[in-house]
Amino acid sequence: MLSYLLLELAKRFQNYFIEVATSEARVKGKKAPKMDVVLDWNDEKQKILVELYNFFQLPIKSLWDPPIVDEEFIK
């Protein structure tokens, strides 16, 4: 459940930054979008993806008493 929440949060941040960048690019006469904020998000996004990858590499069969993965969990 935590991995799902983290992924949804990352998607919402990604959509927000895309929306901000496109809306500021459309408005003429204003400042360009702050690239340092976008670059910080890119760094954070990379960290999130690495942590998700590491999480999915963990052996899930150790969560059950007999080391057989439950069919309900897989679905």
pTM of structure = 0.56
Contact criterion met (CB below 8 Å) for 1 and 47: no
For residue range 38-53, list pLDDT tens digits in order: 667 778 888 888 988 8
Residue 28, domain extent: 2-74
Query: With the CA atoms of 57, 61, 64 and 68 taken in that order, what torsion angle do they form, in degrees rounded to the nearest 10?
Result: 150
Ranking 2-6, 12-16, 17-21, 41-45 by mean pLDDT, the lowest is 17-21
For residue range 21-74, list pLDDT tens digits in order: 777 666 655 555 555 566 677 788 888 889 888 888 888 777 666 766 667 767
Based on the structure, what is the number of domains in the chain? 1
At 37 the pLDDT is 61
